[in-house]
Amino acid sequence: MPRGRSTFTKRQKEQKRQQKQRDKAERRVQRKQDKPEGSVDSADEMRELREHAAAQAALFNIGSDEVSSVEESIAQPQKSPREA
């Protein structure tokens, strides 16, 4: 028995929807694979920017005492009053 026109269009629509889902999942996987490479670059860029900022601060002697005290406080966090 032949199928009606509406059955054919429904089937075509469903196939198109499934193909879109497959394409979307493929793009998602591709982005995940590309992401770690990009994060390494951004980490290198941040390190270079910090080095450059430190060099600029040293060049102009701006906040050299403040920077060292901030670095010390970051390295050794202070205890809260409850812990003391």
All structural domains of the chain with their residue ranges: 5-75
Of how many residues is the chain composed?
A: 84
Instruction: Please report, for residues 22, 48, 53, the alpha-carbon distance to residue 72 in angstroms, rounded to integers and kept in the order given.
Output: 52, 21, 18
The string of pLDDT tens digits covering residues 40-61 is 567 788 889 999 988 888 888 7
Query: What percent of the chain is predicted at pLDDT more than 90?
Result: 36
Rounded (10°) CA dihedral 5, 6, 12, 16: 150
pLDDT at position 32 over 70 = yes
8 A C-beta contact, residue 22 and residue 28: no
Confidence category of residue 63, pLDDT binned at 50, 70, 90: low
Query: Can you tell me the mean pLDDT for 26-51?
Result: 81
pTM of the model: 0.39
Per-residue confidence (pLDDT) for residue 14, from 0 to 100 = 97
